[in-house]
Amino acid sequence: MKTMSYREAVRDAIAESMRASDEVFIMGEDIAEMGGSMGVTQGLLDEFGATRVRNTPISEMAIVGAGIGAAMQGMRPIVEIMYEDFITLSLEQIVNQAAKHRFMSGGQLKVPMVIRTQGGAGWSPGAQHAQQLEAWLVHVPGLKVVFPSTPADVRGLLWSSIYDDNPVVFFEHRLLYPIKDEVPEKLEPIPLGKARVIREGTDVTVIATGPLVHRALKAAEEAEADGISVEVVDPRTLQPLDEDGLVESVKKTNRCVVAHEAVTRMGFGAEVVAVLQEKAFDYLDAPIQRVGAKFAPLAFAPAMEQFVVPGPQDVLDAIRKTVAKA
């Protein structure tokens, strides 16, 4: 094992995939000399050159459209959208083109591309640079959606996404980039659609995504002082979703909290709750609690941002509430 940051793990997966196949290349705004807005792709230009590490015009529609065309011609493009909020500008290409071609061609066409994007709150980026819109993409048949929370997971899942024959929207969170953890010495692909139990517990399951995984772990430590044993599960892949893995955990603990940074209303957590209600209702000893952002655009002011976005205390309150109702 070796230690690697989340940012380094993303870069390593991209570099290893490009070394393994000439079909893989990356393009996006300022990703070459600058290394992207978050410095994730620094150094790739020096190794692979401007043909495979390509700066693009400031047009998300054009970036994704070019990636779709390249993928349909046999390449495996990695397309970077600088901020998750800007993915809205390319939704026509993602939803009506990338997600549909394989189905509409009867499998004759494939679109093996990865759309990497980052976002999230916690550093006062304001309402147009911090949204969490993963639920929008999970709703679209034909897309796969991935949201890793640890260096090892982002490394293994990105590799698998690059070599998947379907379009994958790959979410990264701004605050996760500096996080360091142990990763395998040799890159190990992680199959899409398999959840991971981050922390074992017996009293309540917390199903969390992205940065809320780490906030849930903090809440679990505090809950332990109250005598509450918390299991933390990270779905990792939002589509396909490991429904059986989530149900198995809830059947063990009989209680559940679902937590994400996106707004609670119509968020990804609502789908998870629906799945658990359908498949594990008889095992639940209390109503499932949801934790998410308040239904408001994210303010620029740090104090207001913290008010809107859920933290460890919100997860802890939900844990205590579901245990109290048991």
Active site residues per annotation = 60, 129
Question: 179 with 210: CB under 8 angstroms?
Answer: no
- CA dist., res. 129 & res. 132, Å (int): 9
Q: Which of 137, 132, 194, 135 is nearest to 160 (CA)?
A: 194
Reading the block at residue 35, the tokens are 């290394």
Q: Length of the chain in residues, anyone?
A: 326
Q: Which of 211, 325, 204 is nearest to 257 (CA)?
A: 204
Q: Which of 175, 181, 241 is nearest to 207 (CA)?
A: 241
DSSP H or E segment with residue 19: helix 6-20
Question: 263 with 293: CB under 8 angstroms?
Answer: yes
Q: What is the DSSP letter of 123?
A: S
